[in-house]
Chains A and B, each alone.
Chain A
Amino acid sequence: MIKSITIVVAAMSCVGLAMAQSYPSRPIKLIVPWPPGGGVDTSARIIAQPLAERLGQPIVIENKAGAAGNIGTAVAAQEKPDGYTLLMGSLSPNAVNPHMYSNLGFDPVNDFEPIALAYTVPCFLVVPAASPFNSAKEVIDYAKANPGKLNYGSSGIGSSQHLATIMLQKSTGIDVVHVSYKGTGPAETALVAGQVDFMVDNPASFPFIEAGRLKVFAVGSPERNPAKPDVPTFDELGVTGVHTSVFYGLMAPAKTPKEIVDRLNKELNELLQTEEMRTRLTKMGAVAGTGSAEDFRKYLISEIERYGVIVKSAGIKIE
Chain B
Amino acid sequence: MPLIRQPKNFLSGLLFMGFGLASLIISRSYIIGTAAKMGAGYFPRALGIILIGLGALLCLLSLRSTQEPKIVWRWRPLAIVLLSVCSFIWLTNYLGLILTSIILVLISSTASEEFRWKEALISGVILGLAATALFVYGLAIPLPMWPTFFSSGA
**Which A residues are closer than 8 A to B by beta carbons?**
26, 60, 62, 80
Of chain A, the residue at the smallest CB distance from B152 is A80
Q: How far is the CA of A222 from the CA of B142 in the complex (A)?
A: 41
- Is B89 in the interface zone, CB < 8 Å from A? no
Closest 4 CB pairs of A and B: A62-B142, A80-B153, A26-B154, A60-B140
Residues of chain A within 8 A of B142, CB atoms compared: 62
Size category of the binding interface on chain B: under 10
CB of A62 to closest CB in B, whole Å: 5
Q: What string of 1s and 0s marks CB contacts (under 8 Å) between B115-154 and chain A?
A: 0000000000000000000000000101000000000011
Shortest distance from the beta carbon of B84 to any chain A beta carbon, whole Å: 25
Q: Which residues of B contact A26 (CB under 8 A)?
A: 154
Query: For residue A80, which residue of chain B has the nearest CB?
Result: B153
A-B contact pairs, 4 of them (CB 8 A): A26-B154, A60-B140, A62-B142, A80-B153
CA distance in complex: A62, B140 (Å): 9
| Nearest CB of chain A from residue B44's CB, rounded to whole Å | 16
Please, what's the 1-or-0 string for B90-134, where 1 marks a CB less than 8 Å from any CB in chain A? 000000000000000000000000000000000000000000000
Query: Whole-angstrom distance between the alpha carbons of A60 and B154 in the complex?
Result: 14
- Write out the residue numbers on chain A whose beta carbons fall within 8 Å of the beta carbon of B154: 26
**Min CB distance, B63 to chain A, in Å?**
43
In chain B, what residue has the closest Cβ to A62?
Answer: B142
A57 → chain B, closest Cβ, in Å? 13
Task: Report the minimum CB–CB distance from A69 to chain B (whole Å).
Answer: 17
Q: In the complex the two chains form, what is the Cα distance from A80 to B152 in whole Å?
A: 11
**A107 CA to B141 CA, complexed, in Å:** 27
CA distance A26 to B142 in the complex (A): 16
Q: What is the chain A residue whose CB lies nearest that of B141?
A: A62
In the bound complex, what is the Cα–Cα distance between A304 and B27 (angstroms)? 31
CA distance A80 to B153 in the complex (A): 9
Bound state CA distance, A60 and B142, in angstroms? 10
